[in-house]
Amino acid sequence: MDFNIRQEQIKDYEAVHKVVELAFRDMEDSDHSEPFLVDQLRQTDAFIPELSLVAEVDEEIIGHILMTKVKIISENKSVTSLGLAPVSVLPEYQNRGIGSALIREAHKRATELGYGSVVLLGHKDYYPRFGYKQAIDFGIEFPFDVPHEYCMAIELRPESLKDVQGMIQYAKPLRNNREQKAGKNLSVFILHGDQYPERTQKINMNSQKPFLLYKRLLKFPTVS
């Protein structure tokens, strides 16, 4: 199937909101906040217009990917990286390579813009095909109580993460939002491109058990 990937424009915001909404609409564990997460990220200093990409067929937007700036903070330095999420593809266009193409194109454009790395929370058997490794191998930690195999990073340039260690810090509005909702359900969702439309991960935060992975996440079959 022929499709085009281009930078999102302001006029696309409504269509992108709908794509993200529909991509997660039938996800059993979704609280359907994903399109609002995208809306919110656009309003932060972490937003990079060149890394908000859409896939389209006959001028219809069918997919979207977003990469935003994050910091890797240690005691003596701060390094800028990118956070990947979410990736969304309309249900009727999933399983056609669109999500994978969006990820690869986002990597390419991020490299051209001078960024050296990307971090994400994602399924351990899906993202390694794009070159992702466990973040802990680079000395990078996420501010969530999540098994290491789901916390990943990739070097877009050789050794771009050499001597980079520390904790990931997300955009301030998102951190504030987490703090405000402490004790309530808060979800981080990752749609696995187009390959696994039914395999959305939910990490649920509440006051007793912060950031638990749902059993469905842990039961995903091995990816060939």
CA distance linking residue 63 with residue 53, whole number of Å: 8
* pLDDT tens per residue, range 88-128: 999 999 999 999 999 999 999 999 999 999 999 888 888 99
pTM value? Answer: 0.80
- For residue 81, give every residue at least 6 positions away whose Cβ sits within 8 Å of its Cβ, in sequence order, or none: 69, 70, 71, 72, 115, 116, 117, 118, 119, 153, 168
- Which CATH superfamily hosts domain 4-218? Gcn5-related N-acetyltransferase (GNAT) (3.40.630.30)
Provide the residue type at 64 as one letter: H
* pLDDT tens per residue, range 115-174: 999 999 888 888 999 999 999 999 999 988 889 999 999 999 999 999 999 999 988 754
pLDDT, mean over the chain: 80
Q: Where are the domains of the chain?
A: 4-218
Retrieve residue 66's tokens: 């977003």
- 111, 92, 102, 24: which is closest to 66 by C-alpha? 102
